[in-house]
A and B are shown apart, each in its own frame.
Chain A
Amino acid sequence: MPEVLKYTEQELVLLLKQRRQNAFSYLYDNYSGALYNIILAIVPDRDMASDVLQEVFVKIWRQCESYDSSKGRLFTWMMNIARNASIDMLRSKGYQKNQQNRELTENVYDSAGSTVTNTDKIGLRKVVHALKDDYKILVELSYFEGFTQDEISKMLNIPLGTVKTRLRNALLQLRELVKN
């Protein structure tokens, strides 16, 4: 699709705040693929991920007043909305039911409840798989499943301080992996 107009991020945000249809259309055309990727890494089911994406765009549209460009990039803000919506979906009853069915047929969960699915070939999750196991599980539980560090500490029976430092180290390593 030929894009006649090119907006800078600032212009785009300004126009979004003015509730311009063009701006929303542009936003969708340019960011939906990347956001869908973020969502699919957390919600592998495409139909459900599509529902989340739709919800995310509505949220972005309705909450764009609250976006403050001085605090970070537009994509970072949208990515966090997408991640939160995805995790909400993971915790919804409909998703749980779906997963139970999947579990029966694929048996892709280990006893700790952490995800070691064979479907994670997507974006950041693929990179996370390259981490060593100690790190991987922390990133999985915190980023992809949305557990707090306190919850993870109890879940894995590791002191909170250790969870914190280990997760940060994991993220530093993740950064290097993404860079290369």
Chain B
Amino acid sequence: MDTKAYIESGIVESYVLGLCSNEEAVELELLCDIYPEVKTAVDEFAVLIEKKAFENAVAPPAEMKQKLMMALAGEFTPETKDDKKEAVILPFQTSDANKVRQVSMWRYVAAASIILLVVSAALNFYYYNNYQSASSKYQALLVERNSLQANNDAFRTKLNGFEESMSVIKNPDVKMVTLGGVAGKENNLAAVYYNAKTKDVYFLQTRMDQIPSDKQYQLWAIVDGKPVDAGVIENCDGLCKLKNISNPQAFAITLEQKGGSPTPTLTAMYVLGKV
């Protein structure tokens, strides 16, 4: 091949300046491999253009390098001390080292995750225990509070009863009738408060014998010599309001079947008192 003619065809310049077609470039690169003089011609012109560009070099804006370094900061390999030497002699070790660095970084990441996991599990356990104990304490307090509330309610009811009783007793229209124990029942004592105006009858159990659960005390008023039912005595706080009675001369209490009897069982009379 007449390489001289080829070189002098302008293809070399066209190639270096990037003006030839792809096919022309491929051909020229092939010829460079075969004919050193073509390669030399290419290099010569490249050096020529390069020298021209360097002779006419124009300094770019001062801040540009800084900008570029910042823009590419994340893409640089961390530097080692003896950079130049190492890079030239051991070109492939660096990429291995890179891999090692990457692997060991993953190891650190994995180790850190495991530590975090363990710490997190321990904290979970600790906080769960705390939660458990706080929760059971809370339950206990809730129960205690409810029972206190119930007690409070009970006391309030009792107190209301006593207050009502007090207001009855304080009423000047109300007269107290003491019922003393009859023969054989001397240790029993009770009282009836009677309001002559309203005919209200209140019973105050002061000291009465314990009775079986199928029995109940019943209050009788003696009106015109005859016993009149004034009601059975329930458990109540303070005074128990019983049936209204007109014009009683005396009150008596007998022990009767639960629910009361229409006529008193006189043998089971416990207390008696005159108005």
| Interface set of A (CB-CB < 8 Å, partner B) | 5, 7, 11, 14-15, 18-22, 24-25, 28-29, 32-38, 40, 50, 53-54, 57-58, 61-62, 71-73, 75-76, 79-80, 83-84, 122-124, 127, 142-143, 167-172, 174-175, 178-179
Contact = CB atoms under 8 A, between A and B. Distances in A.
Given A35-B53, A123-B53, A40 B87 contact: no
A168 B6 CA distance: 11
B14 interface: yes
A13 to B, nearest CB: 11
Contacts of B17: 83, 143, 171
A50 B60 contact: yes
A169 B10 contact: yes
Interface residues of B, number: 47
Dominant secondary structure of chain A at its interface with chain B: helix
Given A14-B88, A76-B16, A167-B10, A178 B49 contact: yes
Given A32-B60, A73-B46, 9 more contacts: A20-B77, A21-B69, A28-B68, A33-B54, A33-B60, A58-B71, A72-B42, A79-B18, A80-B18
Contact of A175 (B45, B71, B83): B45
Contact of A79 (B32, B49, B57, B60): B49
Given A18-B94, A50-B64, A168 B48 contact: no
Contacts of B170: none
Given A11-B88, A53-B64, A122 B16 contact: no
B48 A179 contact: yes
Interface in B41-76: 42-43, 45-50, 52-54, 56-61, 64-65, 67-69, 71-72, 75-76
Interface string B213-239: 000000000000000000000000000
B68 A34 contact: no
Contacts of A14: 87-88, 91
A61 B75 contact: yes
A15 B267 CA distance: 127
A79 B88 contact: no
Interface centre among A32, A35, A127 (most CB of B within 10 A): A32
28 contacts: A11-B87, A15-B87, A18-B87, A19-B76, A25-B69, A36-B60, A37-B57, A50-B64, A57-B68, A62-B75, A71-B32, A72-B42, A73-B43, A73-B46, A76-B46, A79-B18, A84-B18, A123-B56, A124-B49, A124-B52, A127-B52, A142-B19, A168-B13, A171-B10, A171-B17, A175-B13, A175-B45, A178-B49
